[in-house]
Structure 1
Amino acid sequence: MASVDKVTECPICCETMTKPIIQCKAGHSMCKGCVTSQVICCPICRGPMSDIRNFGLEQVIESLEKTCKVKCDYTNKGCKYLLEPRKKNAHQLECKYRKFQCEGKKFCKWECTWMGNLDELEKHFKGTHSNHCFMTFRTEASLKMNLEQNFLDLHIINFHNGQNFFWYKHKVDTTNQKVYWTIQIIGTKQTAQNYYYEFEISQGPTRKFKVIEICENDVVDANKIFESEKCVVMSFKTLKTYLNENNELPFKFRIMSVKKHSTS
């Protein structure tokens, strides 16, 4: 007997079919949106296509999405999520049991070929990228600034002895004359909504620039966050007024749980 996943899966996009659903002359179904001009025959039986709508399967899928839950493909690794069929693929892109590529390669373009599990990620950074491990969920430091060239930086942050892990990401953009920071949790979008960060730049005891922002998860492209400016962003002109005599930028940040904050 075919599984729920296979019955509802489009043979073209390999995701749960979405309306309108059409079928070939032999009765095999697929998303109409997937049938482009290049699809000249059924991908299952290679028979002729048709414009016949499969209303019955559309109703079945709607019913399943309300009542049926499916397991994540990473269940055997420990994932306990039960999901609506149409949400399964999106979840697996952010599931913490997925395989991870080195974030330094993805964000900073480091020449690193590492791939591994989440529980190996911190060990990889400490062993291979040790200069990018010193930040904690409460960090206070001074950053040497060079506004003459583009710059990307990344640090892994261990939150409460491995309860969660976060990425600190920083970008100097000479084209837009702006500097950006963001902090992303390694996990799902739902989990990310439970955390925020406070980021403060200061000059002396009274002059301060402070941003409080909800965390995004690590699946979101940091450059998209910077483009939207839903992060810490400062123009070169303003930033220069915060530099100390050593051309350093004093800053601090902390990562907080929304739930803990609301009950304190």
Structure 2
Amino acid sequence: MSSILNPECAMTCPICLETMKAPIVQCQIGHSMCRGCVSETNITKCPSCRSPLTNTRNYQLEQLIEGLSGMLKIQCIYTKKGCKYTLSQSEKEPHEYECRFRSFDCEGKKWANWNCQWKGDYAEIYKHFKDDHNNHTWMQYTTAANMKVNFNNDFMDVQIISFFNGQQYFYYKHKLDVSKAKAYWAFQLIGTKSQAKHYYYEFEIHNDPVRKFKVTEMCQSDVEDVNKIFEEERCVVMSFRVLKNFLVNDELPFKFRIMSLKKK
């Protein structure tokens, strides 16, 4: 077929103008298109030649596109903003979802329901916190502090942490859930999931030199839903019953440090 002889043209769906995705169907003349696009638009005639559409699958073209998808390199949608990644078709969407050059909303609004309408780029996030939420920037990548705890009210907090003078940035997220009678803590790298795998944290709750509750856990990416992280307990989690045993004058002494994994 002509579509196979000219794969560059054949790979573009005439409806969505993107690389076709299986299942691929044809018109009576032989032009191909995504069946999903046909269903969404409810068209009955081929956009290229106006001949009637059929349910005939173009399996040969599907196999060609599948084979080429691992070799074709496509630029990230954020190339003009500075992203230098070139990707296969299958890599493109997952990468763009977590690309550092994507647009960011205020994390406090997204997770802790702050009244903040800020949107911006990665390079502006820390400055935004400094300018508009300065009381949420005091933590360092090694921090020791005391926390007031009220077991009668739900509570959520997010802090931004600069790691080695801005080499990386992390979100500290803490939640008190009265209905579950549990407290949660997690640290998320502002970056990709693959980058986050290179960092971990040690979190310790203590009230004397001997009694300690210590957890070592991997950092996650900011694109992961922290509520799911808390639900699956891939984080620091402690019941209110246990937590009360560590209080000192109604305050919880804790400390943590974020570290990078040593390269082997």
Give TM-score scaled by structure 1 length.
0.87
Is the CA contact (8 Å cut-off) linking 2:11 and 2:20 kept in structure 1? no
Q: Does residue 248 in structure 1 map to residue 241 in structure 2? A: no
For each residue in 1:24-78, what CA deviation from the matched residue of structure 2 results, as whole angstroms up to 9, or x when unmatched? 556241155x665x65226983965532212233222222222222111112222
CA contact (8 A) 2:26 2:54 kept: yes
**Structure 1 residues 35, 250: CA separation in 2 closer, same or farther (over 3 Å shift)?**
farther
SS of residue paired to 2:84: coil
CA contact (8 A) 2:32 2:58 kept: no
Return the letter of the residue paired with 1:230: R
Letter of the aligned partner of 1:215 in structure 2?
C
Secondary structure in 1 matching 2:246: coil
* CA separation of 1:136 and 1:50: change in aligned 2, threshold 3 A: farther
Which whole-Å CA distance do the structure 2 matches of 1:5 and 1:213 have between them? Answer: 49
8 A contact 2:202–2:258 mirrored in 1: yes
Amino acid of the structure 1 residue aligned with 2:197? Q
Aligned to 2:47: 45
Structure 1 residue 159: Cα displacement:
0.8
Give how far 1:204 is off.
Answer: 0.6
Matching residue of 2:197: 193
**Over alpha carbons, which structure has the higher Rg?**
2
Deviation at 1:8, TM superposition (A): 5.1
C-alpha RMSD over aligned residues: 2.7
Secondary structure of residue in 2 paired with 1:140: strand
Q: 1:143 is paired with a residue of what secondary structure? A: strand
1:133-166 alpha-carbon deviations (Å, 9 max, x no partner) = 0011111111110110111100011111111111
The answer to whether the 8 A contact 2:160-2:170 is kept is yes
- Aligned equivalents of 1:103 and 1:43: distance in 2? 47
Question: 1:99 aligns to what?
Answer: 103
Is contact 2:27-2:46 (8 Å) kept? no
Residue 3 of structure 2 is matched in structure 1 by none
Structure 2 residue ranges without an equivalent (≥5): 1-5
- Say whether residues 1:112 and 2:116 are aligned partners: yes
Contact 2:11 2:65 in 1 (8 A): no
1:5, distance to aligned residue in structure 2 (A): 11
Aligned ranges for residues 63-78 of structure 1 at < 5 Å? 63-78=67-82
CA deviation string 1:243-262 (max 9, x = no partner) = 11x2111111111111x2x5
Letter in 2 for 1:120: E
Task: With the length of structure 2 as denominator, give the TM-score of the two structures.
Answer: 0.87
Instruction: Indicate whether 1:22 and 2:25 are aligned.
Output: yes
| Residue 133 (structure 2) aligns with | 129
CA distance in 2, matches of 1:220, 1:185: 10
SS in structure 2 of the partner of residue 162 of structure 1: coil
Cα distance in structure 1, aligned partners of 2:215 and 2:232? 15
Identity of aligned residues (%): 49
